[in-house]
């Protein structure tokens, strides 16, 4: 059956909820699932009997649909990233409910790293007035800064708990103006605003009759209509594994397994193998269901080459005409995760795509002050949850792009060699040989 224009399948949308503790992120997702008929009957029965329910009487505590850990239910806070899936007539959704507490900022970064859109929740009862200005919470600013750094395609600000401010248009307008000022400072563009009550269901799936002054779409309609930019650009194929078969025979199979991170690759195409710069051509592409003539971004395949060249994990296939060159020096924005502050004398490993190399952290250029949103230059290190611009020198070159050009090859994590902890996530802003 073909879909009508209104029912056009727009594909999968991955989105996160972000904001401060108790802004209502888990409740909003629970309400979204409930009102879109995506909650099973046995789940609803279990919610009604939940021992950590925080609502009165027969009212459902929607936050329990996503707060899966017992510790989360006991404390009333989200700790881990909870992923939920649901489908409407128009598209499929993958939701990441991310923590609001500052201690779990690293979990929020993890959830946001694969998202197309962010719903930033603001509790309408918790904004403050200072000197005639509406002041947003620090975590709202921090999460918005991370959303900008990660380059999410869409930002929706859901101003929540409107039922507790008598559905006031004046309150909504004041918070909207404050966030637009924040967005201008951060460089966020095209931000959309929806006044909601996650607990009561206003403007989540159905338009609210209690806010007739809001004439735009409810949240679900907005999510259904968001366009998702498709992966394009030049070919990037980081090799994950070299597959050998019948290695003792002259006609043995040698394939290079990995995922096409961007662009496409086809049989017969001329390639360069970086960082060594060797030339080769594609003899065969093997997918999960057999031979392919061409593979596109997001597909996991095995590529066999016509030439017998030296290829190993960490190498990257690019088009023969590509001007990309390996880099040993990086300028990057980093979000520091670890309880131990950045220590230049410690040994760190940089993991980017399928490459893992030793890295020296040369300098911390600036650190974002979440309160003032200024980039200070007076700090020489990064503490937990700090966001800063750093200079990195690598032991050997990697094949990378800037994050803005290609998030798949422009992102990395830093690992402490001694503890094996992931201490930071980074986005490459500039490269040098």
The predicted-structure confidence for 55-95, as pLDDT tens digits, reads as follows 555 566 676 666 543 444 444 444 467 788 889 888 999 98
Is-same-fold flag (236-319; 327-432)? Answer: yes
Q: What is the pLDDT along the chain (433 residues), one digit of tens a residue?
A: 334 444 455 679 999 988 887 788 888 888 888 888 877 555 655 555 554 555 555 566 676 666 543 444 444 444 467 788 889 888 999 988 777 667 667 778 888 888 999 999 999 999 888 777 888 988 888 889 889 988 999 999 999 999 999 999 999 999 999 999 999 999 999 999 999 999 899 999 999 999 999 999 999 999 999 998 776 789 999 999 999 876 555 567 889 999 999 999 999 999 999 999 999 999 999 999 999 999 999 899 999 999 889 999 999 999 999 999 999 999 999 999 898 999 888 899 999 999 999 999 988 999 988 767 777 777 889 998 888 999 999 999 999 999 999 999 999 999 999 999 999 999 999 999 8
Contacts for 233 with CB less than 8 Å, ≥ 6 apart = 262, 263, 405, 406
Question: Exposed, middle or buried by CB within 10 Å (0-12, 13-18, 19+), for 406?
Answer: buried
CA–chain centroid gap for 367, Å, is 21
Domain ranges of the chain: 12-225, 236-319, 327-432
pLDDT of residue 83: 82
pLDDT of residue 149: 87
pTM, 2 dp: 0.83
Instruction: Take residue 428 and report the two structure tokens written for it.
Output: 């490459």
CATH topology of domain 327-432: Elongation Factor Tu (Ef-tu); domain 3 (2.40.30)
pLDDT of residue 203: 97
Q: Are 358 and 308 a contacting pair, CB within 8 Å?
A: no
Instruction: Quote the CA–CA distance of 388 and 374 in Å, as a whole number.
Output: 11
Instruction: Quote the CA–CA distance of 413 and 408 in Å, as a whole number.
Output: 12
pLDDT of residue 247: 55
Domain 236-319 CATH class label: mainly beta
| Exposure b/e, 114-152, CB count within 10 A at least 16 = b | ebbbbbbbbbbebbeeeeeebebbebbbbbbbbbbbbeb
- Give the residue from 113, 107, 213, 223 showing the smallest Cα distance to 170: 213
Instruction: Quote the CA–CA distance of 20 and 7 in Å, as a whole number.
Output: 35
- Which one-letter DSSP state was computed for residue 272? E
pLDDT, tens digit (0-9, with 9 covering 90-100), for 27-65: 888 888 888 887 755 565 555 555 455 555 556 667 666
Q: DSSP letters of 299-336?
A: -EEEEEESS-----TT-EEEETT-----EEEEEEEEEE
pLDDT of residue 7: 47
Instruction: Quote the CA–CA distance of 17 and 111 in Å, as a whole number.
Output: 9
pLDDT of residue 328: 96
Pairing outcome for strands 300-305 and 316-319: unpaired
- Give the residue from 138, 148, 201, 197 showing the smallest Cα distance to 172: 197
pLDDT of residue 210: 96
pLDDT of residue 72: 40
Bridge partners of residue 97, in order along the sequence: 17, 82
pLDDT of residue 71: 42
Question: Backbone phi, then psi, for 383, in 5-degree steps?
Answer: -100, 175
CATH number of 12-225: 3.40.50.300
Contacts for 212 with CB less than 8 Å, ≥ 6 apart = none
- Give the residue from 196, 228, 217 showing the smallest Cα distance to 29: 196
pLDDT of residue 246: 63
pLDDT of residue 128: 83
Contacts for 308 with CB less than 8 Å, ≥ 6 apart = 254
């Amino acid at each position: 059956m073909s879909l009508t224009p209104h029912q056009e399948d727009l594909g999968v949308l991955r989105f996160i909820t972000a904001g401060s503790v108790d802004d209502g992120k888990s409740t909003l997702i629970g309400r979204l699932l409930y009102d879109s008929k995506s909650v099973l009957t046995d789940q609803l029965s279990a919610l009604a009997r939940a021992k950590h329910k925080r609502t009165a009487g027969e009212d459902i505590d929607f936050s329990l649909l996503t707060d899966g850990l017992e510790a989360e239910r006991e404390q009333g806070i989200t700790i881990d990233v909870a992923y939920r899936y649901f489908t409407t007539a128009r598209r499929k959704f993958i939701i990441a409910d991310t923590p609001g507490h500052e201690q779990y900022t690293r979990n929020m970064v993890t959830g946001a790293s694969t998202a197309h859109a962010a719903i930033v929740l603001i509790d309408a009862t918790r904004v403050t007035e200072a000197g005639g200005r509406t002041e947003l919470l620090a975590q709202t600013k921090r999460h918005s800064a991370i959303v900008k750094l990660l380059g999410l395609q869409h930002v929706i600000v859901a101003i929540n708990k409107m039922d507790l401010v008598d559905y006031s248009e004046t309150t909504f307008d004041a918070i909207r103006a404050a966030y637009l000022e924040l967005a201008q400072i951060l460089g966020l563009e095209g931000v959309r605003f929806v006044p909601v009550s996650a607990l009561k269901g206003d403007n989540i799936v159905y338009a609210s009759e209690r806010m007739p002054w809001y004439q735009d779409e409810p949240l679900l309609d907005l999510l259904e209509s968001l366009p998702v930019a498709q992966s394009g650009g030049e070919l990037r194929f980081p090799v994950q594994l070299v597959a050998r078969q019948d290695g003792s025979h002259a006609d043995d199979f040698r394939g290079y397994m990995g995922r096409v991170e961007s662009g496409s690759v086809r049989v017969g195409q001329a390639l360069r193998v970086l960082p060594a710069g060797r030339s080769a051509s594609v003899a065969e592409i093997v997918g999960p269901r057999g031979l392919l003539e061409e593979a596109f971004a997001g597909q996991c395949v095995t590529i066999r080459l016509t030439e017998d060249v030296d290829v190993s994990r960490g190498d990257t296939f690019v088009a023969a005409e590509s001007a990309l060159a390996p880099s040993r020096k990086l300028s990057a924005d980093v979000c520091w995760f670890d309880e131990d502050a950045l220590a230049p004398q410690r040994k760190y490993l940089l993991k980017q795509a399928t490459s893992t190399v030793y890295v020296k952290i040369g300098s911390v250029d600036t650190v974002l002050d979440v309160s003032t949103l200024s980039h200070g230059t007076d700090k020489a290190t990064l503490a937990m949850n700090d966001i800063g611009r750093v200079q990195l020198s690598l032991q050997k070159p990697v094949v990378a792009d800037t994050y803005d050009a290609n998030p798949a090859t422009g992102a990395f994590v830093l690992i402490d060699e001694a503890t094996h902890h992931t201490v930071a996530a980074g986005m490459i802003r500039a490269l040098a040989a």
